[in-house]
């Protein structure tokens, strides 16, 4: 029996061309929707839920009222501050179609691996000359194992390198399925304490650490440490993480200080921004952490970039 393409369709929020921080060379980064973690400082809230959603961008609204006319659930008002009653909204997207000013936008569209691969292949010459390829991110790509594995398989058939950007939180069988066609893993390690990891992300890190061992045994792994002041920047946590990495033969780490680039996305989704609750790490503290990591002979980068 042939493969049913609908089985591995994923909802994609963005296909970002000419990315230079998501793996070696010039890359195309594909962002999938759906994530089992709920990191309290998440910068991509539009990728948390697996289904399409609606952005409302107030500054683009001309208050013409066309959206009210087409909404079958009476979920829209003229109040720009509370435009959508998301409890009533059924995501029919009629407001998006009616708005001529782009104030309403659909976030996420269903695509097959073949659809995505076709778009990726357009930039093949750039991959060849820069040593680049494609990266899948999210959300959590391992929550879409059939889609991710098939997309990577197609890319390898086209001689396009593949990078998996992941939290590592997934069933072992799903990890193995995807790693068969993965060249490099960019693995986020957020905290070495299972209790603290669950406190700040909603899940324990035990499965993640087990999968890290599997990943290190199957392909090249580079760790990313998203640094949040007073959450995971203690010397104890940093040293424990580095020692864990070295035990697996992983010697590359990117330290990424908290940023607020996703703050507007919360507004567009009608959500409260979480960033007032967190502080960016100071430059002095960042230098201290880089020094600690470097003392182990690790290759450490501020921000995420593979030269």
pLDDT bucket at 305, cuts 50 / 70 / 90: low
CATH of 8-48+112-302, one of 3.20.20.70, 3.30.420.40, 3.90.1150.10, 2.160.10.10: 3.20.20.70
CATH 3.20.20.70 domain range(s) in the chain: 8-48+112-302
Note whether 271 and 45 are within 8 A (CB): yes
Mean pLDDT of 182-195: 97
Mean pLDDT of 31-54: 97
DSSP code of residue 81: G
**pLDDT by residue (tens digit) across 44-54?**
999 999 999 99
* Predicted model pTM: 0.94
CA–CA dist 85, 77 (Å, integer): 8
Q: Above 80 in pLDDT, residue 185?
A: yes
pLDDT bucket at 259, cuts 50 / 70 / 90: confident
Q: Above 70 in pLDDT, residue 5?
A: no
Q: Above 50 in pLDDT, residue 246?
A: yes
CA–CA dist 97, 71 (Å, integer): 11
**Would you identify the CATH topology of the domain 53-107?**
Alpha-Beta Plaits (3.30.70)
């Amino acid at each position: 029996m042939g493969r049913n393409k609908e089985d591995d369709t994923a909802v994609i929020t963005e296909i970002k061309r000419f990315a230079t921080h998501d793996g070696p060379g010039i890359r195309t980064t594909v962002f999938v929707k759906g994530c089992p973690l709920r990191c309290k400082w998440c910068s991509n809230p539009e990728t948390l839920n697996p289904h399409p959603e609606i952005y409302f961008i107030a500054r683009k609204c001309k208050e013409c009222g066309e959206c009210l006319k087409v909404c079958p659930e009476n979920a829209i008002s003229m109040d720009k501050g509370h435009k959508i009653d998301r409890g009533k909204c059924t995501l029919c997207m009629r407001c998006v179609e009616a708005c001529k000013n782009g104030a309403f936008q659909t976030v996420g569209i269903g695509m097959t691996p073949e659809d995505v691969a076709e778009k990726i292949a357009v930039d093949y010459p750039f991959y060849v000359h820069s040593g680049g390829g494609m990266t899948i991110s999210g959300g959590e790509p391992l929550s879409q194992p059939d889609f991710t594995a098939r997309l990577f398989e197609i890319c390898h058939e086209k001689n396009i390198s593949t990078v998996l950007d992941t939290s590592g939180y997934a069933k072992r069988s799903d990890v193995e399925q995807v790693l068969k066609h993965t060249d490099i893993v960019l693995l986020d390690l957020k905290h070495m304490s299972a209790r603290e990891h669950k406190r700040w992300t909603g899940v324990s890190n035990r499965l993640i650490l087990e999968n890290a061992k599997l990943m290190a045994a199957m392909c090249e792994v580079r760790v990313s440490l998203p640094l949040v002041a007073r959450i995971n920047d203690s010397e104890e946590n940093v040293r424990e993480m580095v020692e864990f990495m070295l035990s697996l033969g992983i010697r590359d780490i990117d330290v990424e200080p908290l940023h607020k680039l996703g703050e507007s996305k919360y507004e567009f989704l009608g959500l409260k921004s979480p960033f007032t609750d967190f502080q960016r790490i100071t430059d002095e503290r960042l230098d201290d952490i880089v020094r600690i990591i470097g003392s182990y002979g690790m290759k450490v980068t501020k921000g995420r970039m593979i030269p």
